[in-house]
Amino acid sequence: MSTPSSSRNSWKVSASIVSKRTSNPIRAIVDHIKVKPNVNKSMISLALGDPTLFGNFKIHQTCTDAVAKQLHSYKSNGYPPSTGYLSARKAVADKFTLPEAPLTAQDVIITSGCSGALDMCIGVLCNEGDNILLPRPGFSLYQTLADSKGVEVRYYDLLPENNWEMDLKQLETLIDERTATVVMNNPSNPCGSVFRKQHLLDFLEVCDRHHLPVIADEIYCDLVFSGNEFFPLASLTKTVPVLSVGGLAKKYLVPGWRVGWIFIHDRQDIFAKEVREGLNSLSQLILGSNSLVQSSLEDILHNTDSSFYDDTRVQLEANAKLSTEILSKVPGLKVIVPQGAMYVMISINIAEFKDIDNDIIFTEKLLGEESVMCLPGSVFQCPNFIRIVFTSPPEVLKEAYERMAEFCARHHK
């Protein structure tokens, strides 16, 4: 039994246990970095997964036109249903349906960003005291959500030497009777990896054998570089029930618009009895997603010129290549070549440095000396790596990487 959060004989108001166990690992580490950037060098941040920051990745006019149209129609200002406008759900289903993984409007829930989708999926599948399998390294919100709900986190490893593929042997050892679900993320934040088809099939085989439903975070779907192919997880299984989540944020370069979705892939009707109803119930708590953007989904998803997607991918791929080329040559660093998304993880060979003990100190000193900010791998449960977001313009990336090279040379043994 917990203690009362308020006491009757004085003004002492505590915050709830839930709020206390809700924390963002990024903030927990980054807020402790007390080092100030070098005032003699311009600040370059490679830390935030927000492609809109620099103006080089441009939203497509279809998106702005679509929202402007809704705005001026005066027809989309009222309350949408809690699971989203039917027309929006249909537009999303039509865009993402596949012969092997068919979707109708009934299988789609519109959410407050992909974050809202993850919140609902973890919320509907996990009880307090259950455990959940999360990727390490992985997007930190998974842990924040699990902790908040009192769900025990068990990390399965992604192996840098295998293009960050999942260590399925180790994953399997984590499963017990209280394992409620496994989150997989493809393409990956922070790894920039894209899973091979056979690897996904092997993963599904494990899930199938243990009757483990999957939450597939596919928000970076299609953001893959040449030579790689993205396979929606649900398209590869007839048996494993999958809640797949995504949203507008990354592909359409509008993270602030806060529109995401859940796809209920459930070819055996395993979710039909309870999970669909549970998602419906959870959708009523805050009625999440903006009506103007929801009603624009049909235009955005179906009328955006295909060249827009190509342009984004080409730019990202060029930046990925540039990052790999320059940073691979820096002694002490090892680049795990990215295959998609907008991230690259770089391994720091600590033993080669004379006065850098770990990734957090690396990050702090780099900031203090070179005014270059990236995230230490520790915020993704992956020490002695750093994550770089390569959405800045090429000339900015080059400048940052030159400074990093000088920095590494200076601290090298």
Ligand X SMILES: Cc1ncc(COP(=O)(O)O)c(C=O)c1O
Interface residues toward ligand X, by CB under 6 A:
49, 113-115, 139, 185, 189, 217, 219, 247, 249, 255, 260, 287
- Does the footprint of its own copies cover residue 4 (CB under 8 A)? yes
- Whichever of 191 and 361 has its CB closer to ligand X, that residue is 191
C-alpha span between 307 and 282 (Å, rounded): 37
- Smallest distance from its own copies to CB 217, Å: 14
- Smallest distance from ligand X to CB 341, Å: 8
Structure tokens at 401: 């990487």
- Whichever of 120 and 408 has its CB closer to ligand X, that residue is 120
- Smallest distance from its own copies to CB 5, Å: 5
- Identify the DSSP state of 53: S
- Does the footprint of its own copies cover residue 237 (CB under 8 A)? no
**Per-residue burial over 20-59, b = 16 or more CB atoms within 10 Å of its CB, e = otherwise:** eeeeebbeebbeeeeeebbeeeeebbbbebbbbeeeebee
- Does the footprint of its own copies cover residue 274 (CB under 8 A)? yes
Q: Applying CB under 8 A, which of residues 35, 43, 68, 314 lies at the interface with its own copies?
A: 68
What are the C-alpha distances in Å from 275 to residues 21, 109, 183? 26, 12, 16
- Smallest distance from its own copies to CB 263, Å: 16
Q: Which amino acid is at 128?
A: E
- Does the footprint of its own copies cover residue 246 (CB under 8 A)? no
Q: Is 153 helix (H, G, I), strand (E, B) or coil?
A: strand
Q: Where are the beta strands (DSSP E) in 120-168?
A: 131-136, 152-159, 165-166
Instruction: Count residues binding its own copies (CB under 8 A).
Output: 99
Which residue number is nearest to ligand X in terms of Cβ? 113
Q: Which stretch binds its own copies (CB under 8 A): 11-19, 88-96, 99-107, 360-368?
A: 11-19
Q: Applying CB under 8 A, which of residues 84, 138, 190, 241 lies at the interface with its own copies?
A: 241
C-alpha span between 40 and 352 (Å, rounded): 28
Residue 137 contact partner, candidates ligand X, its own copies, none, CB within 5 to 8 A by sort of partner: none
- Smallest distance from ligand X to CB 166, Å: 15
- Does the footprint of its own copies cover residue 215 (CB under 8 A)? no
Identify the CA nearest to 380 among candidates 149, 190, 163, 164: 190
- Smallest distance from its own copies to CB 292, Å: 7
- Does the footprint of its own copies cover residue 190 (CB under 8 A)? no
Residue 185 contact partner, candidates ligand X, its own copies, none, CB within 5 to 8 A by sort of partner: ligand X
- Whichever of 169 and 329 has its CB closer to its own copies, that residue is 169
Residue 10 contact partner, candidates ligand X, its own copies, none, CB within 5 to 8 A by sort of partner: its own copies
Listed in sequence order, the residues at least 6 apart from 393 whose beta carbon sits closer than 8 Å to its beta carbon are: 54, 56
For residues 145 to 184, the per-residue mask of contacts with its own copies, x marking binding by CB under 8 A and - elsewhere, is x--xx-------------------------xxxxxxx---
Q: Applying CB under 8 A, which of residues 213, 332, 340, 377 lies at the interface with its own copies?
A: 213
Residue 238 contact partner, candidates ligand X, its own copies, none, CB within 5 to 8 A by sort of partner: none
Q: Is 152 left (phi over 0), alpha (psi -120 to 50) or beta?
A: beta
C-alpha span between 378 and 375 (Å, rounded): 8
Listed in sequence order, the residues at least 6 apart from 400 whose beta carbon sits closer than 8 Å to its beta carbon are: 44, 46, 372, 392
- Does the footprint of its own copies cover residue 5 (CB under 8 A)? yes
- Does the footprint of its own copies cover residue 16 (CB under 8 A)? yes
C-alpha span between 132 and 266 (Å, rounded): 20
- Does the footprint of its own copies cover residue 47 (CB under 8 A)? no
The total number of residues written for the chain in this structure: 413
C-alpha span between 222 and 251 (Å, rounded): 8
C-alpha span between 90 and 359 (Å, rounded): 45
Residue 177 contact partner, candidates ligand X, its own copies, none, CB within 5 to 8 A by sort of partner: its own copies
